[in-house]
Amino acid sequence: MKHSYFISDLHLSETKPELTALFINFIQNIEPETERVYILGDLFDFWVGDDEHSPLIIKIKNLLKSLHDKGVQCYFQHGNRDFLIGERFSRETGVELLPEYKLINLYGKDILLCHGDSLCIDDTAYQKFRNKVNNKWLQRIFLCLPLKLRIKIAEKIRSKSNQDKQKKSVKIMDVNKTFTIQKMKEFNVDLLIHGHTHRENIHKEEGMTRIVLGDWRKEHASILELREDSLIHFKK
């Protein structure tokens, strides 16, 4: 039966080869009936520009290109870790880049897709940081820096982000439910799929369904499947 997959928050890096192995296994063993794969951000733990050619990045690019060559459509939404993925990456892999919010119709369902960090409005400190790093002028300046310097800066930002999380309450790092429902109404949908919070679940709220993709961990891949018969579930 025809079906499509949704994944996010793999946070691939050289330091976690087990996650790369999980992703390779998923892509290489994807079924012939698979039509689309949607990656809703944070495929990589950080991304400093399309000009980086580490062994990991080359491996993942080739993997995604092989998926495209099989006839499987692959889509990518930027996460808070890999928002600098650009058109060069898209050309080299065949992956289509999606905007921050994307409304799709799949197997008769209208679905709103997003990474999810834009829904966490209670974390005001993060939202201020997010606005800064998404400034196109600042991004252009950053991408003009030497590659090694960009990597060092990204590593420092990642380290500080991990430290800051330890000080924040669990509640403010989740989506704001009222804002999220308003966003779904704005797009006139009753189904939203997002990642970012790493809290894999299917929520029913005010007649609407909000599906949260989980992060990938050792021996656990969070993969949501939507079939053409409308069955939607997390693969075991």
Q: Is 198 annotated as a binding residue?
A: yes
Distance CA 35, CA 227 (A): 10
Q: Is 134 annotated as a binding residue?
A: no
Q: Is 196 annotated as a binding residue?
A: yes
116, 80 contact by CB (below 8 A): no
Q: Is 69 annotated as a binding residue?
A: no
Q: Is 11 annotated as a binding residue?
A: yes
Q: Is 80 annotated as a binding residue?
A: yes
Q: Is 161 annotated as a binding residue?
A: yes
Q: Which of 62, 64, 48 is nearest to 7 (CA)?
A: 64
Q: Is 51 annotated as a binding residue?
A: no
Q: Is 9 annotated as a binding residue?
A: yes
Q: Is 233 annotated as a binding residue?
A: no
Q: Which of 121, 76, 120 is nearest to 98 (CA)?
A: 76
Residue partners of 196: CB distance under 8 A and separation at least 6: 8, 9, 41, 42, 79, 80, 115, 116, 117, 119, 120
Q: Which of 36, 58, 51, 47 is nearest to 107 (CA)?
A: 36
Residue set of the binding site for substrate = 80-81, 123, 161, 165, 168, 196
Residue set of the binding site for Mn(2+) = 9, 11, 42, 80, 115, 196, 198
Residue set of the binding site = 9, 11, 42, 80-81, 115, 123, 161, 165, 168, 196, 198
